[in-house]
Structure 1
Amino acid sequence: MHPTTSLTQRTTALLVGALLVLLAGCGSGGEQNEARGTEQAAPPVKPRKATAAPAGLPGMPPVQDPQDIYAADRPGMLSPVVKNFPSRVYVPNTNSNTVSVIDPATYKVIDTIPVGVQPQHVVPSWDLKTLWVNNNRGHTLTPIDPATGKAGEPVDVHDPYNLYFTPNGKYAVVMASLDRELVFRDPHTMETRHTEPVSCYGVNHADFSADGRYFIVSCEFSAELLKVDTEKMKVVGRQRLPFEGAMPQDVKLSPDGKTFYIADMIAHGVWVLDGEKFTEPALIPTGKGAHGLYISRDSKEMYIPNRGEGSISVFDFARNKLTKKWWLPDGGSPDMGGVSADGKVLWLSGRYDAEVYAVDTKTGKQLARIPVGSGPHGLAVYPQPGRYSLGHTGVFR
């Protein structure tokens, strides 16, 4: 959410005939770090009748494994485009108007890049060649070359709170939060191709269906969700969350492509949504200030940082329940981030503490706590495995 906005303001083609089948894999083990309130079962998701899947979004790379949309995200599966990029963690400091660059091998800040006003997220481009810094109140995008770590000339884009890319790479989609718009742009020049006004407040985060034909958007200021037709670039569904004052944040699709999860920092949990039916979702309580959603490299678990209490909940897809809860030893405000290329480290910004956390994904142990600028937000771990990027801090498929 915007650090300067009060809470009151912030109320490929798919294989034709393929079937979406059972959840991939089994729950992995791993020690619990002061587990509190774990084993929280998710509401059961009623299976839909097996029917032939519709053709995917035209131009989208074919899904490698219909059972696991993240099959291209395994350790070591770096695209030829990124395999020679140095491994770095790029941290946008919203209040400092800078990006801190961390060497993950040493846990040290090795560079500080001046950018525009109020950088919110660092977003990998669809073709993996560029990192875009979203300077929300500066109304610009700053490109960073991940091969050199150097920033280029800013591009004028109004109200770029967050940035996504359609699965076929045809459009960049700017989440213009305060403008109340979804702006479809050329993914390279960022010239506007279509503007879709929305009636909700605070369009924020999103994720795409397995076939790429629609995406689910969270509206944090008005407690709403949108369903958007990707090809038509039109809102086709809208609903209000059944929780007073809800503030939905990150959105993530399950590995089997059947379920959307939406973190909610006021409902203190994760909503479970059938995206196809777009019926009322159910809530899994996780912890105070649930904010981000990150999939493990084996697609078995999802990490959920609870910003308001300094913890990370772990959801097991096969068991359909929360199984672990890790607590940062000295507290903190774990927010947005990503998983290292080898899957061993979860990197999260400390939104209110001017720091970044590195957490062992097997044990939940804090590996490092790194001072950065003020208001660190949507950091990007780069490079990561995957064939293309859907945006945000790195959603790869």
Structure 2
Amino acid sequence: MRTHYILAAVSLVVCLMGARAQSLLVVNQGDATVSVIDPQTGKQVATIEEHTPGVHGHEIAVSADGKTAFLPIYGSVGVGKPGIDGHEMLVLDLPSRRIIDHVEFGHGVRPHMPLLDEASGMLYVTTELDKTVTVIDPKTHRIVGTIPTGAEQSHMLILSHDGKTGYTANVGPGSVSVLDMRERKTLAVIPVAAEVQRIAISNDDKWVFTSDPKQPRMAVIDTSTHKVAKWIELPGMGYGAKPTTDGKWLLVAIPAAGKVAVVDLATMTVKNTVEVPLAPQEVVIRPDQKVAYVSCNTSGKVAAINLTTWKTDLIAAGPLADGMIWVPSRKGQPVR
């Protein structure tokens, strides 16, 4: 039964065609299906039905060679809500679309955000009920350590580009933890707002961004001082965000409005908004810098935004589409 519910927990946008084509992975929380989408045609080409509904993953990571995916099984509900607590992470072989292993955390920890760090070779996974980030060897699939976050509900994680510093968004406490990923210790816990959601970092590592889900604004944290330096006013409560590869824009999902705000990072002001289906969640920038993909939760679609014209095409995915990652064609680096 493990294989069935794991496969059903994610929407694997694999379109491997012999495991060679580039693809996008989208994690669906809703109907326990696996959607297979070809990003070249913008079409869903297959689905797999779930046999054990109710427990699901939210986020996914992929190895640099595009062969292996890591899917923490978070549980049955959202952050801070009572429900089934996930206790494992699945290891998926993408060419064969099989679960080949799993990492057992030993108890319910609600593992959520996985990130692979090329510099250290480690896989990091937020394990929020333990108030830690768990360190895993992605080759042996063994837990090799933990990093305390100093706060509850450390839900999302972002790394500096050298992999030395991590930042977690601590949802309920409304704070951001700063972590030394090499020494495996907490450097600071930055108070931000009554709550926070999601987290992003600028391409030059100078700024960390996190949205205030209670007010239409985004905190801009100065990574040199570990303090909120300014606020960006948004056209609604923000959620996931991602800077474009050229560092010019920050794309911010505005779930209730069905929009993506385009923030000019030179002035830290919103310069444009793009209409998308309701409940946009996560943003992925395609490696060629031409398209941004935005998972739109309640519609079960992915919005593909042309970064030159700002026009949008829609791709059908599974219900409650959430976490995403771009899978390289056995070369290059995965892009979140």
TM-score range, shorter chain: 0.7 to 0.9
Cα distance, 1:297–1:263 mapped onto 2, change above 3 Å? same
Q: 1:165 to 1:118 in 2, by over 3 A?
A: same
CA contact (8 A) 1:169 1:187 kept: no
Report the CA distance between 1:202 and its aligned residue.
1.3
Identical aligned pairs, as a percentage? Answer: 20
Preserved CA contact (<8 Å) 2:20 2:330: no
Which whole-Å deviations, capped at 9, do the CAs of 1:215-251 have from their partners, x for residues lacking one? 221111210110111111111111221x3x3223122
One-letter code aligned to 2:100:
E
Amino acid at match of 2:273: K
Map 1:1-397; keep pairs closer than 5 Å: 85-113=20-48, 117-125=55-63, 128-137=66-75, 138-146=86-94, 148=95, 150-158=97-105, 159-241=110-192, 243=193, 245-252=194-201, 254-328=202-276, 331-370=277-316, 372-383=317-328, 388=333, 394-395=335-336
Say which is worse superposed, 215-224 or 84-93, in terms of deviation: 84-93
Change (3 A) 1:210 1:87: closer
Contact 2:197 2:211 in 1 (8 A): yes
How far, CA to CA, are the matches of 1:385 and 1:156 in structure 2? 24
* Contact 1:359–1:365 (Cα < 8 Å) also in 2: yes
Cα distance 1:203–1:127, how it changes in 2: closer, same or farther (>3 A)?
Answer: farther
TM-score by length of 1: 0.68
Residue ranges of structure 2 left out of the alignment (5+ in a row): 1-18, 76-85
Distance 2:320 2:125 in 1: 21
Give deviations 1:126-182, integer Å, cap 9, x for gaps.
565422222212533333444x36133241343321112335233211101233221
- The separation in 1 between residues aligned to 2:124 and 2:67, in whole angstroms, is 17
Post-superposition CA distance 1:371-390 (Å, at most 9, x none)? x322211022322899545x
- The one-letter amino acid paired with 1:93 is N
Please report how far the alpha carbon of residue 195 of structure 1 lies from its aligned counterpart in structure 2 after TM superposition: 2.2
CA distance in 2, matches of 1:335, 1:278: 26
Q: How many angstroms apart in 1 are the aligned matches of 2:234 and 2:29?
A: 26
Unaligned runs of 5+ in 1: 1-83
Query: Does the Cα contact within 8 Å between 1:347 and 1:356 map onto a contact in 2?
Result: yes
One-letter amino acid matched to 2:44: V
Distance 1:125 1:385, change over 3 A: closer
Partner of 2:3: none
Task: For 1:374 and 1:178, locate their aligned partners in 2 and report how far apart those are by CA, in whole Å.
Answer: 26
Give distance in 2, aligned partners of 1:378 and 1:268: 22
TM-score, normalisation: structure 2: 0.80
- Deviation larger for 111-120 or 269-278: 111-120
Q: Greater CA deviation, 207-216 or 331-340? A: 207-216
Render the CA deviation track for 1:238-280: whole Å, top value 9, x for unaligned: 1221x3x32231222x222222222333333321111121123
- Give the 3-state SS of the residue equivalent to 2:237 in structure 1: coil
Q: CA RMSD in A?
A: 2.6
Equivalent residues of 2:65, 2:331 under 8 A apart: no
For the structure 1 residues 169 and 181, does the alpha-carbon distance in structure 2 shift closer, same or farther, using more than 3 Å as the test? same
Q: CA–CA distance in 2 between the matches of 1:162 and 1:225?
A: 15
Q: How far apart, CA to CA, are the structure 2 residues paired with 1:291 and 1:196?
A: 25
More relative contact order in 1 or in 2 (CA 8 Å, sep 6+)? Answer: 1
Cα distance in structure 2, aligned partners of 1:202 and 1:261: 17
Structure with more strand by fraction: 2
Secondary structure (helix, strand or coil) at the match of 2:71 reads: strand
User: Post-superposition shift, 1:295?
Assistant: 2.5
Amino acid at match of 2:133: L
